[in-house]
Each structure stands twice: as C-alpha cells, then as structure tokens.
Homo-oligomer: A and B are copies of this chain.
C-alpha cells in the first residue's frame, strides 16, 4: 500500500506510491543523450565561452580578465531591474511593487563541456565563493529582502543555455514560500527548543539509510518525504540560518561534498537534468536558532500535473531509501 509521508520542517505531505513502484534504475537517462563531458570544450556561438565576452558586452556585470575562472553577467532578459525606485501601490485589492532588484548569471567555468559534477574541488570553491561575495553585495542594497540562488541544469530543468552557470535573484519581497517555512520552523522551536533541521539531520546521521554523503561539516541525504525521486537536501552540520553567514573555511568543506553528490547523480543517472537551489533566511533577518540554510537538489525525472497544482501534494513512485542506496552504489544499475 502507498504511504503518505510528511516533511517535519515544511509540513508538506507526499504520497510514496509503491503500487506504481519504479526502481531507481528506471530513471537512468538514455545513452543516446549527449552528456556534458561529451560536448566540445569551446563553442564559438556561446556567450559564456571565453573570447565571446564581447558578444554581449552590455551584459557584463564586471570586467573579466583574460584568464577568468568565474564571472558574473546580468541576465539578458532580467526579471527585475537594478535601477529604479521601489514604490508600492495598493488600491484595496491589487497590491504591487515596482520590479526592482537583481537578476544575474554566475558563469561557473570557462569550459563549455563541464559542470559542477565534473569540476575540481578548487573550481567548485571558486563558484561558492562567488555566490557568497555577490550575495553579500546584493544583500547590502536596502531594497532587497530575499536572495535566491539557483541552478537549472538541462532543458527540462528550464536552462536555455548549456554552458555551466547559476543564477541569483535579489527580490524586493519575502516570498510566501519562505515565510511559511520560517513560521513552521519557529513553531517547532517554540515547542521543542530545537531547530527542526538540526533534528532531521541528527536523525538522518543516526539512521544512515537515506544518507548519500557526509563529511565533518556537511551531510547530504535523500528526503524522507521526497516530492520526487532523488530529491536531496544538503545541510551544514553547524547551525546557521543564513547562507551568507557561512565562513569561507566552511565553504572549503562544502565543495568536495557537493561535487560528490552531483557526481553520483551524473554517473548513476547519466547526467540528468536537475534544479539546485539554496534556501536561506531573508536578508534583513538576524541569525536565529530556528531556521537553517540548506541546498535542495531536485532532478527533473517526473512531471507535475493537476493534482500537484491543486493540492501541493506530490506523488513519488520510488522509495527514498532505495534512491539513496542506488546513489551510494549499494544497488547496482542492472539489479
């Protein structure tokens, strides 16, 4: 029989539908697919490849030296504008705010045929330090309330350019989505005196069956209440509400773990499309004991439909425990 599981932190329910049971190896992408490492190292038409910076001069956020390792450009079709006054309007029904904020692209590597899963620890550190630095700069703008870092890898994940990149959006509002998570976390803290994420993390480390990778400072596990197959959270083991407060020394430890997790997805599922995002507190909120920043990785292996839209409940046909075992290599791809 199927089972409904609740995420302790978000209180969102999922249906783990064993009747539809798909084994983890059912998600391995076709070998016909051109994987990232099989592409050419340089694409003359790609605006993110070295030598092509001039193709898109007006987009450059800051000048890139000839030997750049990472760089920041403005999104060509920005959802929000850097220049402009934040003004609010409300007529009793319609509430709006001018679309001021930031929408930038973080180019992660000069090569066209790489991705985080294939980079060295040093290269991933450079990417994470760029996230941190640019995040702090954007957070200093008083119009910004929330920063969202995200990565779309592959077309099904919404990427329009193949060259490895992330995006950062600085919003003039706190999304309801984040507010709800903070309220639930505060409620758990009120009841127990504990951070709900620390509680979940301790349980995963004890239990181990859903762990994918762990080191001294970070742990990655498939969620008990995964909304889709291989839905993974990476949590810092030291409590911090905001990603922007991570010490650079901690970033050193995040890089190898992130590479490990993404390489497992790349190798075991044959370079699947995925979204990666960082959840963190609103920029103006102080550090606190109840919220805990984290990275979520969501491979795009299933599709939402009317039921998910109507209920927010996802139907996941694959056991999270089996997905974790598969990524650890405990279940072979041909089993």
Interface set of A (CB-CB < 8 Å, partner B): 1-6, 8, 10-13, 15-17, 19-20, 77-81, 84, 92-100, 146, 148-152, 157-159, 167, 169, 171-173, 175-178, 180, 199-200, 203, 224, 275-279, 296, 298, 303-307, 309-313, 315
Contacts and interface: CB of A to CB of B under 8 A. Distances in A.
Nearest to A206: B93
A15 B19 CA distance: 39
B3 A99 contact: yes
A224 B94 CA distance: 7
B5 A94 contact: yes
A79 B305 contact: no
A101 to B, nearest CB: 9
Of A10, A19, A167, chain B has the most CB atoms within 10 Å of the CB of: A19
Nearest to A12: B176
Contacts of A2: 78-81, 98-99
Nearest to A203: B93
Contacts of A81: 1-2, 19
Given A150-B305, A306-B276, A312 B77 contact: no
27 contacts: A1-B99, A2-B79, A2-B99, A3-B98, A4-B96, A4-B99, A4-B172, A4-B173, A6-B95, A6-B96, A8-B93, A8-B94, A12-B175, A13-B176, A15-B99, A16-B99, A17-B77, A19-B78, A94-B203, A146-B311, A167-B306, A171-B311, A175-B311, A177-B312, A275-B305, A279-B310, A296-B309
Given A1-B84, A152-B305, 8 more contacts: A2-B78, A3-B96, A19-B77, A148-B307, A150-B306, A171-B311, A177-B313, A275-B309
A176 B187 CA distance: 15
